[in-house]
């Protein structure tokens, strides 16, 4: 057994020692997974850059990767079901950390980390997607609570969620970006009505959510009244990284599936297919290495426009690779006959057939910001090209044409 330095300077060696001590005291082979994760949170080894008491140790952000690698090496469980927890872990947690009160961090972060409480994102509305700041869901102050009315749409995993991150309009008299406030919505409130939306894959990962007189305590507001757009930017930047920045090993994603089909089926090999596969393999490898660089940049700071580039390349590549997979499989690839109405909590790319990959990948260029919008962000914030003309910038939201 190692001896971790108590207090003292936290460097990579000190953290590795802490992880080794932790695993010695909580044998992953015999400890219940939730208990293991709860204890890991309490020990400050969930997110080491978070403050003490919030799952961290106040260590430099770059050291998180050291801790994760050491836990993996020692066979420790990770927060279960990346798909199920992606909104909580990838989007709600960094927003709560940046804008939450100590009480909010205390209430929300631990069950989010252990997977006990699932989160969803109540942002999009029928009239507000790419132009999210146009949203019309109203939150009106009533004593120490807010009364919320409106409709959200495309809400992934709302059927399984305990909490939702919600943005709503609190002041219609100011321009659209300024009158928004950010809340945590209790999905078990009687005014929350979740209805499935069936996708072209046959299943319903996402939902419409109707909000009728939902009472949200003011204590569940994240950030200042009217400052919700700024708070939402933290969520959105992290969302792009969560969707597109996931680091895979070489051939770890869909390109690996297609390369295996190529290896296993000599009859499918033509010079044209060879050329197509090679090009996509090289692009997937370039995307993987770029994501690795992004991961290292993130380790020392916040996600920036690089996250938009990662999400864009992930979406475009997934669609092209799943198209090639269908071509390689010929007629067999077209036999997608499982239209079972499922209520999954995310897209399960690994265990499904080629037809599912193809159909589900169409959503990749829409979810988390469309490819057109991401190109706009890259054009404006990376390349410095002139911004889009925005004529509604100084007009009160209530006066905008609806
Ligand atoms: C699988 C999936 C899961 C999702 N999960 C969630 C979720 O959990 N929570 C949530 O809140 N939302 C979710 N969404 C919604 C998603 O974020 C929105 O669909 C997306 O932001 C696009 O908005 P929209 O559908 O209103 O399209 P619109 O904004 O109406 O866009 C329609 C088309 O016009 C283009 N366009 C619009 N404005 C411009 C412009 N200025 N310049 C160039 N082109 C433009 C768009 O790129 C797009 O091609 C999900 C969507 C999908 C597909």
Alpha carbon of 126 to ligand 1 centroid (Å): 10
Per residue of the chain (402 residues), what is the pLDDT tens digit? 444 444 457 899 999 999 999 999 999 999 998 899 999 999 999 999 999 999 999 998 888 889 988 998 999 887 766 678 889 999 999 999 999 999 999 999 999 999 999 999 999 999 999 999 999 999 999 999 999 999 999 999 999 999 999 999 999 999 999 999 999 999 999 999 999 999 999 999 999 999 999 999 999 999 999 999 999 999 998 888 777 777 678 998 899 999 999 999 998 899 999 999 999 999 999 999 888 888 777 777 666 777 888 899 999 999 999 999 999 999 888 887 778 899 988 787 777 899 999 999 999 999 999 999 999 999 998 899 999 888 888 999 999 988
Task: Give the C-alpha separation, 85 to 92, whole Å.
Answer: 10
Locate 128 and state its tokens: 């507000």
- pTM, to two decimals: 0.93
Alpha carbon of 375 to ligand 1 centroid (Å): 13
Query: Which residues have CB under 6 Å of ligand 1?
Result: 120-121, 123-124, 129-130, 154-156, 206, 363, 366-367, 369-370, 372-373, 376, 388
Report whether 172 contacts 238 (CB < 8 A).
no
For residue 388, count other CB atoms closer than 10 A to its CB.
8
User: Sign of dihedral through CA atoms 215, 221, 184, 219?
Assistant: negative
Q: Which atom of ligand 1 is nearest to the CA of 128?
A: 26
Q: Does domain 232-383 have CATH number 3.40.640.10?
A: no
**Fold of the domain spanning 119-227:** Butyryl-CoA Dehydrogenase, subunit A; domain 2 (2.40.110)
Q: Give, for ligand 1, the residue of 130, 151, 345 to mutate: max count of ligand atoms closer than 8 Å to Cβ.
A: 130
Burial of 152 (0-12, 13-18, 19+ CB in 10 A): buried
Q: Which atom of ligand 1 is nearest to the CA of 130?
A: 29
Report whether 97 contacts 253 (CB < 8 A).
no
- Domain locations along the chain: 12-114, 119-227, 232-383
Task: Give the C-alpha separation, 202 to 337, whole Å.
Answer: 10
Task: Give the C-alpha separation, 390 to 392, whole Å.
Answer: 6
CB-hemisphere CA count at 13 Å for 82?
Answer: 9
In this predicted model, what pLDDT tens digit does every residue of 93-124 receive, in sequence order? 999 999 999 999 999 999 999 999 999 999 99
Q: Which atom of ligand 1 is nearest to the CA of 347?
A: 1
Alpha carbon of 366 to ligand 1 centroid (Å): 5
Catalytic residues: 239
Locate 319 and state its tokens: 């669609």
For 166, list phi and psi in degrees, rounded to 5.
-130, 135
Locate 197 and state its tokens: 């939306």
The gap from C-alpha 245 to its chain's centroid, in whole angstroms, comes to 10
Locate 402 and state its tokens: 């609806």
At the fourth CATH level, the homologous superfamily of domain 12-114 is Acyl-CoA dehydrogenase/oxidase, N-terminal domain (1.10.540.10)
């Amino acid at each position: 057994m190692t001896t971790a330095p108590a207090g003292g300077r936290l460097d990579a060696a000190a953290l590795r020692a802490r992880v080794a001590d932790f695993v010695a005291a909580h044998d992953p082979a015999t400890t219940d997974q939730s208990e293991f994760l709860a204890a890991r949170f309490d020990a400050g080894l969930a997110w080491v850059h978070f403050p003490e008491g919030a799952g961290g140790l106040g260590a430099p952000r770059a050291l998180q990767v050291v801790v994760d690698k050491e836990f993996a090496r020692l066979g420790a469980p990770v927060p279960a079901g990346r798909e199920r927890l992606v909104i909580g872990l990838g989007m709600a947690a960094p927003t709560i950390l940046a804008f939450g009160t100590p009480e909010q961090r205390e209430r929300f972060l631990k069950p989010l980390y252990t997977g006990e409480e699932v989160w969803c994102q109540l942002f999009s509305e029928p009239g507000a997607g790419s132009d999210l700041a146009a949203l019309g869901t109203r939150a009106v102050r009533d004593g120490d609570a807010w009364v919320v009315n409106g409709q959200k749409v495309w809400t992934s995993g709302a059927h399984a969620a305990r909490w939702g991150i919600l943005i709503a309009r609190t002041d219609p008299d100011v321009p659209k970006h300024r009158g928004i406030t950010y809340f945590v919505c209790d999905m078990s409130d009687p005014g929350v009505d979740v209805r499935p939306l069936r996708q072209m894959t046959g299943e319903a990962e996402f939902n419409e959510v109707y909000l009728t007189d939902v009472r949200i305590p003011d204590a569940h507001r994240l950030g200042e009244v009217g400052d919700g757009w700024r708070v939402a930017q933290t969520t959105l930047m992290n969302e792009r990284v969560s969707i597109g920045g996931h680091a895979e090993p070489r051939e770890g994603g869909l390109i690996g599936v297609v390369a295996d089909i190529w290896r296993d089926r000599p009859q499918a090999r033509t010079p044209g297919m060879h050329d197509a596969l090679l090009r996509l393999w090289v692009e997937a490898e370039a995307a993987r290495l770029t994501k690795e660089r992004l991961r290292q940049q993130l380790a020392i700071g916040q996600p920036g426009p690089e996250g938009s580039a990662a999400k864009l390349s992930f979406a475009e590549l997934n669609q092209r690779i799943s198209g090639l997979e269908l071509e390689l499989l010929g007629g067999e690839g077209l036999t997608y006959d499982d239209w079972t109405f499922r209520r999954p909590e995310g897209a399960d790319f690994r265990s499904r057939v080629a037809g599912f990959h193809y159909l589900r990948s169409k959503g990749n260029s829409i979810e988390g910001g469309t490819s057109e919008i991401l190109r706009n962000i890259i054009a404006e914030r990376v390349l410095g090209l002139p911004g889009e003309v925005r004529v509604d910038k100084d007009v009160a939201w209530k006066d905008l044409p609806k």
